[in-house]
């Protein structure tokens, strides 16, 4: 007689190999043994034809990272940089050469005809306006997440993208990664059964992790264009802490949810093909980083995803803790009726528990009472863990995300994380803040992308 575990495992492996073969990203090496299954994911090299000239608006931490990644894709050239702090403009020339054009005015940059695409990496409260102005000026846009600063701002970006036909991509780079692609494929193939729950977590405990960034010694109204910075929000006198630690203030940032949950929404929506949740409720508090910030340092969000054509109804739980002594942990896990998947940008680990037995002492006691034999004789078990890991040298989600952006520009194609996708990922993150601040559940129509008033 066939061993049941071996037979189901073989079926699972057959399914995995068949689905992998169908994928463009392919399967290079397949190694298996009794205990563990490990598969290597790989990506074919990218080749460029025409040069794409790019410009950076917002040359801070992420703007620098994005530009470095964009320039590592063959066929790209940086021609201009814009920032409101002179120190960043000087730094840009040091990093990328004296011949790049620099300015404090993003409108002056958009007037230049030698720019094909812009990277927008300003604080969140400028994303919408600059994105719209850039597309109207004929530029393709790579806009950092979250796409917008408030729930009301999304429709205008979508409208401008549709009217101008420009490539518009939001910067939750995990969506383009091998890890996210593999998870999407595995979920579709039913490897974890019917999805019923997902969870994500972000833990940190350090000043910079909690957004207490260094403030440059020369920060002053002379070196910072404060009036331009606050020209679309509350008028205040110059405040260098607000400028350099903007994430802590609601006029400019979107708190933990807009900064971090949005990545998890983007990956989750990509993997599940979901439009988003219809109910959002949050809890949390400001307990440790009492530096005048307006946002919590511990935030929990609970999200109800209704049944759709793409997936069954499921619940999502997200947590973020900036006072976490374990520090440095982050994960995204999808749980289904047959198992779970732990997903990163570089790997997916599937865990399946084929046994229906419980090791709960209470259950064991109940079984004994009911006369069910409880034995500690060891059984033969099938493999319970399957890991798909990117091969050594994989350039990562950020690189792939820029490749997708430039490929869409060259081929007049589409990107996955466009304005509609970006809005559907930003909306639950922004509603999570609204729920926390208003102390009530927020209702959202994920398909029509509309707030439902109670």
Least distance from ligand NAD to the Cβ atom of residue 277, Å: 21
In this chain, which stretch among 29-37, 59-67, 280-288, 306-314 interacts with ligand NAD, using CB under 6 A? 59-67
**Site residues for ligand NAD, window 8-37 (CB under 6 A)?**
none
Q: Does 171 bind ligand NAD (CB under 6 A)?
A: yes
Least distance from ligand NAD to the Cβ atom of residue 143, Å: 8
Residues forming beta bridges with residue 320, ordered by sequence position: 202, 299
Using CB positions, name the residue nearest to ligand NAD: 60
Strand ranges across the sheet with 330-336: 27-32, 36-41, 385-390, 347-351, 340-343, 330-336, 195-203, 314-321, 298-305, 279-285, 442-445, 450-452
Residue with tokens 């094909």: 116
Q: Does 145 bind ligand NAD (CB under 6 A)?
A: yes
- Candidates 12, 60, 131, 303; binder of ligand NAD (CB under 6 A) is 60
Dihedral sign computed on CA atoms, order 62, 65, 71, 77: positive
Contacts (Cβ under 8 Å, ≥6 apart) of 24: none
CA dist., res. 386 & res. 349, Å (int): 6
Q: Does 345 bind ligand NAD (CB under 6 A)?
A: no
CA dist., res. 427 & res. 444, Å (int): 9
Locate 372 and state its tokens.
């069910």
Least distance from ligand NAD to the Cβ atom of residue 310, Å: 25
Q: Which of 390, 350, 347 is nearest to 29 (CA)?
A: 390
Give the Å distances, CA to CA, from 280 to 277, 327, 344: 7, 26, 24
CA dist., res. 395 & res. 42, Å (int): 10
Q: Does 144 bind ligand NAD (CB under 6 A)?
A: yes
Q: Does 121 bind ligand NAD (CB under 6 A)?
A: yes
CA dist., res. 330 & res. 201, Å (int): 5
Closer residue to ligand NAD, CB minimum distance, 128 or 173:
173
**Site residues for ligand NAD, window 82-111 (CB under 6 A)?**
82-85, 88, 106
Closer residue to ligand NAD, CB minimum distance, 147 or 186:
147
Cα 426 → chain centroid:
10
In this chain, which stretch among 51-59, 69-77, 312-320, 374-382 interacts with ligand NAD, using CB under 6 A? 51-59
In this chain, which stretch among 76-84, 344-352, 388-396, 422-430 interacts with ligand NAD, using CB under 6 A? 76-84
Closer residue to ligand NAD, CB minimum distance, 223 or 387:
223
Least distance from ligand NAD to the Cβ atom of residue 142, Å: 10
What single DSSP character describes residue 153? G
Q: Does 124 bind ligand NAD (CB under 6 A)?
A: yes
The site for ligand NAD (CB under 6 A) is made up of 57-63, 82-85, 88, 106, 121-124, 126, 144-145, 171, 173, 228-229, 259
């Amino acid at each position: 007689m066939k061993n049941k575990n071996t037979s189901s495992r073989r079926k699972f492996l057959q399914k995995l190999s068949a689905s992998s073969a169908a994928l463009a990203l392919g399967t290079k090496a397949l190694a298996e043994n009794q205990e563990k299954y490990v598969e290597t994911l790989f990506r074919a090299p990218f080749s460029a034809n025409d040069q794409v000239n790019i410009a950076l608006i917002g040359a801070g931490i992420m703007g620098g990272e994005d530009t470095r990644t964009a320039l590592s894709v063959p066929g790209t050239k940086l021609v201009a940089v814009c920032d409101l702090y002179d120190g960043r403009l000087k730094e840009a020339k040091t990093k990328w050469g004296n011949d790049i054009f620099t300015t404090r005015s993003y409108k002056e940059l958009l007037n230049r005809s030698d720019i094909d695409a812009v990277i927008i990496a300003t604080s969140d409260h400028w994303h919408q306006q600059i994105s719209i102005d850039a597309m109207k000026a004929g530029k393709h846009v790579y806009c950092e997440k979250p796409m917008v600063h408030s729930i009301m701002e999304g429709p205008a970006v979508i409208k401008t993208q549709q009217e101008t036909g420009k490539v518009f991509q939001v910067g939750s780079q995990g969506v383009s990664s091998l890890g996210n692609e593999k998870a999407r494929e595995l979920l579709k193939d039913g490897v974890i059964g019917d999805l019923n729950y997902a969870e994500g977590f972000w833990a940190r405990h350090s000043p910079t992790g909690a957004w207490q960034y260094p403030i440059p010694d020369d920060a002053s109204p002379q070196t910072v264009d404060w009036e331009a910075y606050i020209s679309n929000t509350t008028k205040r006198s110059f405040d260098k802490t607000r400028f350099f630690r903007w994430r802590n203030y609601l006029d400019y940032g979107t708190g933990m949810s807009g900064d971090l949950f949005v990545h998890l929404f983007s990956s989750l929506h990509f993997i599940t093909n979901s439009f988003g949740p219809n109910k959002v409720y949050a809890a949390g508090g400001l307990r440790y980083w009492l530096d005048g910030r307006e946002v919590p340092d511990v935030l929990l969000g609970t999200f109800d995803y209704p049944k759709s054509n793409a997936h069954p109804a499921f619940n999502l739980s997200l947590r973020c803790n900036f006072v976490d002594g374990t520090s440095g942990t982050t994960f995204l896990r999808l749980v289904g009726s047959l198992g779970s998947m732990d997903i990163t940008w570089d790997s997916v680990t599937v865990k399946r528990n084929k046994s229906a037995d419980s090791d709960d002492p209470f259950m064991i006691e109940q079984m004994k009472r009911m006369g069910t034999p409880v034995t500690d004789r060891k059984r033969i078990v099938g493999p319970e863990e399957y890991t798909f890991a990117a091969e050594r040298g994989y350039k990562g989600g950020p690189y792939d995300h820029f490749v997708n952006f430039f490929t869409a520009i060259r081929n007049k194609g589409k990107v996955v994380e466009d304005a509609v996708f970006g809005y559907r990922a930003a909306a639950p993150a922004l509603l999570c803040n609204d729920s926390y601040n208003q102390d009530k559940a927020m209702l959202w129509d994920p398909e029509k992308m509309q707030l439902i008033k109670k």
